[in-house]
Structure 1
């Protein structure tokens, strides 16, 4: 590590030509939770979590609870009063110590907070010893509000949890219309990170049952996600269905295409960078989130989505 960044992050910053901007942004990376952030966490009802399993595959999920299920007993610890459902890919991981990437996001106000640390299981959830705390900007977050905490959930349709290695047609259609997903990565030592990706529907492009692509939009120049991918290509996605409360979990490997102009049919990506994701595992879980969120209000920062080319964007990289 050099300052707040590891070698992969610094290399990503160099490739993007944003080293100076990254040095400025790096001042926002700390290892303690300030009081204003502790108050924010105490109000949240969801927490995105990412980690590597015992095979090295990286997964992401969402933990939920009533306001107060996240607590900061001191400036270096986070208490999480929730555990993954038994069928969740991260359920076995969180039965023991694990390094987690975490993201608390409040879509209604477009606020988010990123945290990384080592989790230890407790009877009522997790104790996470934090080593990185990062405040992020509101870019690309679609504004939406969850149902009231005491709202009666709509009846859930019959749902069979299945694990596969590819996306079925219904899952492909769902992803093609998504405006939000979360991506988990890990460095060469398994230290995980979780991040938000958002855009207009269609920004996440389905190229085949085992291949996805999305643009890397301009951000804070830290490159915590792309820096990890330079050291370890494994990644995990979780895509929420805000209408039903289900979540779609994917694991696989990701490659950064630093010059999108070389990709046939890629269209403008805002930064000239794309990420291609090869799917190796798929799990869809019911009831992860409260169902019935309000319709989204798109972020004013979302770039336009180029039309899908005749070949579906499947041009060779």
Structure 2
């Protein structure tokens, strides 16, 4: 069920035996859930074994699961998006379905099957749900997507810094032990109040709040300390993608007391790119989850 470094992360966190509903195929309710989504978050590895992540969007039904082991995405790929270009047959892949209207989320991990310019097939080997904690409810509405050239950022500019500082949601892609049935690529959600991520020059500090105890992300980062972060500008439709090296802080030092955090991890930027107005939808009317409202943010006297 868990790969060796997920088990090690659970032990370092002080968890007893962890169990949960991780399936080798997709249950019917997961298949129906994915098929009802207008977007899907997907991660894989690039040619240099760095995690990369992207967002696919389309009308209801553009994602479908014809059976319990196949998830098919019918969407034209944007080949200047490094993550979409990396989705080639045989690559490990992880997908996250998240419904912002009701805070449900399910994940599926496996390998890329058949592909062409308008379709990507995921062959599932792990399927599981996640609790809705820290997911902010949002009303999404259609908006025109634009095909502006991708912006490669040599460093974080002011727009990127503002987006990170104001974010209440981000997505993290990681990978480890891809040769094992229990391993692979994973993409997960992180949420908190605006300000829950602290940006120190080009290092991001991210609190790890109480979750499902699977330790999928931190277990991957123990084995392979590389990650990709995706930030969505819900007002403008921008996608900001970061790649960086990571380090986990298991013991909280004096002053590191963001309310609700059990540990932290930091992300040192290596590369970044942005796609302006790339999403065909926007988000408004944010409703913070009860779990989010019980958490805190970074203040001047408790920054690392």
- What TM-score, normalized to structure 2? 0.92
What is the aligned partner in structure 1 of residue 175 from structure 2?
186
8 Å contact from structure 1 (residues 77, 127) kept in 2: yes
How far apart, in 1, do the equivalents of 2:158 and 2:280 lie? 25
Matches within 5 A, 1:84-163: 84-123=77-116, 124-147=118-141, 151=142, 153=143, 160-163=149-152
What is the aligned partner in structure 2 of residue 170 from structure 1?
159
| Structure 2 CA distance for partners of 1:33 and 1:266, relative to 1, 3 Å | same
Q: Which runs of 5+ in 2 are unaligned?
A: none
How far apart, in 2, do the equivalents of 1:214 and 1:65 lie? 31
Deviation at 1:92, TM superposition (A): 2.5
SS in 2 for 1:173: helix
Question: Do residues 224 (structure 1) and 220 (structure 2) align?
Answer: no
Question: Do residues 236 (structure 1) and 236 (structure 2) align?
Answer: no
Match of 1:299 among 264, 289, 304: 289
How far apart, in 1, do the equivalents of 2:209 and 2:39 lie? 24
SS in 2 for 1:226: helix
8 Å contact from structure 1 (residues 234, 251) kept in 2: yes
How far apart, in 1, do the equivalents of 2:139 and 2:51 lie? 29
8 Å contact from structure 1 (residues 113, 136) kept in 2: yes
What is the aligned partner in structure 1 of residue 247 from structure 2?
255
What is the aligned partner in structure 2 of residue 12 from structure 1?
9
How far apart, in 2, do the equivalents of 1:307 and 1:234 lie? 24
Match of 1:245 among 225, 228, 237: 237
Matches within 5 A, 1:16-27: 16-20=13-17, 22-23=18-19, 25=20
Match of 1:277 among 246, 253, 267: 267
SS in 2 for 1:296: strand
Match of 2:30 among 34, 37, 41: 37
Deviation at 1:182, TM superposition (A): 0.4
Matches within 5 A, 1:38-57: 38-57=31-50
8 Å contact from structure 2 (residues 109, 124) kept in 1: yes
Deviation at 1:271, TM superposition (A): 4.2
How far apart, in 2, do the equivalents of 1:258 and 1:308 lie? 20
The 4+ residue runs of structure 1 with deviation greater than 3 A are none
How far apart, in 1, do the equivalents of 2:62 and 2:128 lie? 20
Which segment drifts farther, 160-169 or 93-102?
Answer: 160-169
8 Å contact from structure 1 (residues 181, 239) kept in 2: yes
8 Å contact from structure 2 (residues 6, 215) kept in 1: yes
Q: Which runs of 5+ in 1 are unaligned?
A: none
